[in-house]
Structures are given as structure tokens and as C-alpha cells.
Structure 1
Amino acid sequence: MRHLGLAMTGGLLLAGCATVPAPMASPPPPPAKPTFATVGLERVLGQNAAALRQLFGEPDAEMTEGTGRKLQFSSGICVLDAYLYPKDGGGVPVVSYVDARQRDGRAIDRASCVAALTRRTGGR
């Protein structure tokens, strides 16, 4: 019995020497969703279709889906899609989002596209 007590005591002493695994590092947070600056888009965001026609001329394409509407304007430099939705669930649809791309599909700054479209002189 005495040997059993010594063996248990020795085992407990050895257990105290065991290394404790380091806590696993938490995984990195997911990448932040991209944010889109609205600087340079003041002439477009919040505007209705009539204001866009006055600014850019007639749209090259126009689509409606439910209460949403998309007007597409293009120049030799870029294509701009303006998405209009009724504000607060009613009223005249206004631009709530714009997307832009170069004519070949590559990315372009949205404000640069707006500037290019306001300078076009009827030639597409």
C-alpha cells in the first residue's frame, strides 16, 4: 500500500511538470466590406431621372424591375449605371447607388466616370 501511495505522489508531482498547451490564437477577423466614397458623386446621388437626363442627356439603356429603375449612360471612356429607388417607400425614384466601369469592363473610379460623362458632347 505504501508503494501505491508513493507511486501516486510521484505521478502527481510529474503531472505538475507537464506543459500546458498555449491557447490557440483566434482566427483573424473577416476582411472588411469595401466602402465606396461618395466624393464627386454629389451631382448624381439623390437625383431623379429628369435631373440625370439634364446632366448626361438621354440614357443608353433603361430598365425597370419592381420599384427599382436603372439608367445607363456611356461615353468613349466609361459606362455608368445609376440605380433609382423611391425614397422612404414612396414618391419619385432617386439615385441611391451608382456603379461604373471602363468600356472593356475594367474598374474605374465612379466620380471620374461622372466627370467624363458630363463632358461628353453627344458622341458616344
Structure 2
Amino acid sequence: MDRSLPRLLALAAPALLAACATAPRPQAPLHPPKIPTVTLGAGLDRVMGKDARALQILFGAPDLDVREGSARKLQYASSVCVLDAYLYPPAAGREPLVRYIDARLPTGDDFDRASCVAALSRRVEAR
């Protein structure tokens, strides 16, 4: 048996392993989270840009009120739909305003946001 073959394999193995190594990925710079926005449509202007007090006047007391730092989520539910209103302060020290809303059926399926706003404003708790 030729002794050069094992020596050749011993020399080639590190080169083959080095070819499999991956270069480290550059880290993306950290940026503050981007607050989602919703374009205004018919009926959404009654909610978008409003503060918590205005929502309570429109819908009554929220079924759920969750605070995380300066952000706040108010949830209103009925047999027709569930509306989540996300409020963020426009500037430090300012009152949080609705910047994003999401609507769904009680089963969890998507629901039209404007229709949900209309349905919730007619519920008994809103009067």
C-alpha cells in the first residue's frame, strides 16, 4: 500500500472541514420597534387617534385593559366581535392614543374592523 495516500488524506481533511465552516453573520443594528399604523377608512376615524377616555365614551368600560410600559391595549368584546385597540404615546409624557386596531370574531377568525367598531358602539355597555 502506498504510504502517501494516508498522508494526503490527513492533509486534505482540515481543508475540507474549513470549507464547511460558515462566516459569522453581521449583527443588524438595534432600532426602536416600529409602531404599526392603520389607514383610516369609513368608521375607523371614530377610534384611530383617540385616547382611552374617548374609547370608553364610545364603547363603555373595556373588557380587558393591559399595560406594558407606556403602551396600552384595550379590548372590547361582544357576541359579534372582539376589538383590540393599541394605544401608544405620541411623545414622552403625552397621553397614549390609538395607533392600531385589530378585530376578530369570538372564534378568532378575522373580522372587518369598521363593522366591529359599529357593532360595539351599539352594545348595551356603550350606553
Q: Is this a same-fold pair by TM over 0.5?
A: yes
> Percent identity over the alignment?
55
Q: Which has the higher contact order (CA 8 A, sep 6+)?
A: 2
Structure 2, unpaired ranges of 5+:
1-36
Amino acid across the alignment from 2:40: T
**1:112 corresponds to 2:115:** yes
Q: Which residue of 2 aligns with 1:57?
A: 60
Structure with bigger gyration radius: 1
Q: What displacement does 1:36 show?
A: 5.2
Amino acid across the alignment from 1:64: R
Q: Which residue of 2 aligns with 1:38?
A: 40
Counterpart CA distance in 1 for 2:109 and 2:38 is 17
TM-score (norm 1): 0.67
TM-score (norm 2): 0.66
- Structure 1 segment 9-88 matched on structure 2, within 5 A: 37-39=39-41, 40-88=43-91
Counterpart CA distance in 2 for 1:90 and 1:41 is 26
Structure 1, unpaired ranges of 5+:
1-34
Deviations 1:38-70 (CA, angstroms, capped at 9, x unpaired)? 212000001000000000000000100011000
Q: State the 4+ residue runs in structure 1 displaced beyond 2 angstroms.
A: 35-38
